Structure 1
Amino acid sequence: MAELQAALGMVFAWDVLAVILGASLFGLLIGAIPGLTATMATALLVPVTFFMEPLPAISAIVAATAMAIVAGDIPGALLRIPGTPASAAYTEEAYLMGRQGKIGQALGVNLACSVVGGLIGVAILAFFAPLVADFALRFTSDEYFWLALLGLSCAVLVSGADPLKGAISMLIGLLIAMVGMDSVSGQIRFTFGISDLLSGISILPVLIGLFAVAELLRRMPEIGHTHFPPPPPVEKPFSGVDGLMWQYKAGIARSGVLGTLIGALPGAGADIASWISYALSRKLSRTPEKYGTGHPEGLVAASSANNAALSGAYIPALVFGIPGDTITAIIIGVLMMKGITPGPDVFTSSATLVNAIFIVFILANLLLLPLGLLAIRGARHILAVPSSVLYPLILLFCIVGAFAANNSLLDVWLMLGLGLLAYFLVENDFPIGPMILAVILGPVVESNFMRSMIKANGELLVLFERPIAAMLGGLALLVWLAIIVSSVRSAWQTRASATSA
Structure 2
Amino acid sequence: MQTLLEAFRLIADPQVIVTVLLASIFGLFVGAIPGLTATMATALLVPMTFFMDPLSSIAAIVACTAMAITAGDIPGCLLRIPGTPASAAYTDETFMMTKKGLGAQALGSSLVSSVIGGLFGAIVLMVAAPSLARVALNFSSFEYFWLACIGLSCAALVSSTGFVAGLLSLFIGLLIATVGMDVISGSPRFTFGSVQLMGGVSFVPAMIGMFAISEILYSLLNGTARQRFAKPQKITGIFHGILPLISKYRTNVARGSVIGTIIGILPGAGGDIAAWITYATARRFSKESQKFGTGHPEGVIEAGAANNAGLSGAWVPALVFGVPGDAVTAIAVGVLFMKGINPGPRLFETQGAMLYAVFMIFLIANIALLPFGWLAIRAASKILSVPRPQLMAVILLFCIVGSFAINNTIFDIGVMLVFGILAFALSEAGIPIAPIILGIVLGPLLEQNFLTSMTIADGNLLAFFERPIAGVLGIFVLLLWSIPLVSAIMQVSRHVSHARPMKLT
**After TM superposition, is the score higher than 0.5?**
yes
Contact kept, 8 Å, 1:163 with 1:486, in 2: the verdict is no
Contact kept, 8 Å, 1:163 with 1:487, in 2: the verdict is no
Give 1:59's aligned residue: 59
Write out aligned runs for 1:326-345 (5 A).
326-345=327-346
Structure 1 residues 44 and 157: CA distance shift in structure 2, 3 A:
same
Q: Residues 82-127 of structure 1: CA distance to partner in whole angstroms, max 9, x if unpaired?
A: 1001111111121111111111111111111111110000000100
Give 2:369's aligned residue: 368
Alpha-carbon distance between aligned partners in 2 of 1:2 and 1:435, rounded to the nearest angstrom: 41
Give 1:217's aligned residue: 217
Give 2:158's aligned residue: 158
Alignment-mate amino acid for residue 132 of structure 1: L
Structure 2: which 5+ residue stretches go unaligned? Answer: 499-505
Contact kept, 8 Å, 2:95 with 2:295, in 1: the verdict is yes
Q: Residues 442-499 of structure 1: CA distance to partner in whole angstroms, max 9, x if unpaired?
A: 00010000001111111111111111111111111121222344567789999999xx
> SS in structure 2 opposite 1:430?
coil
Give 2:247's aligned residue: 246
Give 1:410's aligned residue: 411
Give 1:191's aligned residue: 191
Write out aligned runs for 1:63-462 (5 A).
63-220=63-220, 221-222=222-223, 225-462=226-463
Alpha-carbon distance between aligned partners in 2 of 1:495 and 1:167, rounded to the nearest angstrom: 27
Contact kept, 8 Å, 1:162 with 1:490, in 2: the verdict is no
Alpha-carbon distance between aligned partners in 1 of 2:176 and 2:428, rounded to the nearest angstrom: 20
> SS in structure 2 opposite 1:423?
helix
Alpha-carbon distance between aligned partners in 2 of 1:166 and 1:488, rounded to the nearest angstrom: 20
**2:25 matched to 1:25?**
yes
> SS in structure 2 opposite 1:50?
helix
Alignment-mate amino acid for residue 303 of structure 2: A
Give 1:310 deviation, angstroms.
Answer: 0.2
Give 1:476's aligned residue: 477
Alpha-carbon distance between aligned partners in 1 of 2:307 and 2:419, rounded to the nearest angstrom: 28
Alpha-carbon distance between aligned partners in 2 of 1:39 and 1:328, rounded to the nearest angstrom: 9
Alpha-carbon distance between aligned partners in 2 of 1:50 and 1:173, rounded to the nearest angstrom: 24
Give 1:162 deviation, angstroms.
Answer: 2.6
Contact kept, 8 Å, 1:205 with 1:411, in 2: the verdict is yes
Alpha-carbon distance between aligned partners in 2 of 1:336 and 1:488, rounded to the nearest angstrom: 42
Contact kept, 8 Å, 2:160 with 2:273, in 1: the verdict is no
Give 1:187 deviation, angstroms.
Answer: 2.4
Structure 1 residues 390 and 492: CA distance shift in structure 2, 3 A:
farther
Alignment-mate amino acid for residue 58 of structure 2: I
Q: Residues 256-294 of structure 1: CA distance to partner in whole angstroms, max 9, x if unpaired?
A: 111011011111111111111111111221111111111
The range that moved more, 86-95 or 15-24, is: 86-95
Alignment-mate amino acid for residue 141 of structure 1: S
> SS in structure 2 opposite 1:483?
helix
Alpha-carbon distance between aligned partners in 2 of 1:403 and 1:131, rounded to the nearest angstrom: 40
Q: Residues 136-183 of structure 1: CA distance to partner in whole angstroms, max 9, x if unpaired?
A: 111110010011011101100011343112111111111110011122
Contact kept, 8 Å, 1:162 with 1:487, in 2: the verdict is no
Alignment-mate amino acid for residue 427 of structure 2: V
Structure 1 residues 353 and 155: CA distance shift in structure 2, 3 A:
same
Task: State how many pairs are aligned.
Answer: 497
Q: Residues 363-395 of structure 1: CA distance to partner in whole angstroms, max 9, x if unpaired?
A: 111111111111011000000011110001111
Structure 1 residues 492 and 162: CA distance shift in structure 2, 3 A:
farther
Contact kept, 8 Å, 2:76 with 2:87, in 1: the verdict is yes
Give 1:397 deviation, angstroms.
Answer: 0.7
Alpha-carbon distance between aligned partners in 1 of 2:228 and 2:341, rounded to the nearest angstrom: 44
Alpha-carbon distance between aligned partners in 2 of 1:56 and 1:292, rounded to the nearest angstrom: 42
Structure 1: which 5+ residue stretches go unaligned? Answer: none
Give 1:227 deviation, angstroms.
Answer: 2.2
Give 1:428 deviation, angstroms.
Answer: 0.4
Alpha-carbon distance between aligned partners in 1 of 2:154 and 2:278, rounded to the nearest angstrom: 19
Alpha-carbon distance between aligned partners in 2 of 1:472 and 1:212, rounded to the nearest angstrom: 36
Q: Residues 306-352 of structure 1: CA distance to partner in whole angstroms, max 9, x if unpaired?
A: 00000000000000000100000000000000000101111111101
Alpha-carbon distance between aligned partners in 2 of 1:194 and 1:494, rounded to the nearest angstrom: 52
Structure 1 residues 436 and 484: CA distance shift in structure 2, 3 A:
farther
Alpha-carbon distance between aligned partners in 2 of 1:226 and 1:495, rounded to the nearest angstrom: 50
Among the aligned pairs, what percent are the same residue? Answer: 53
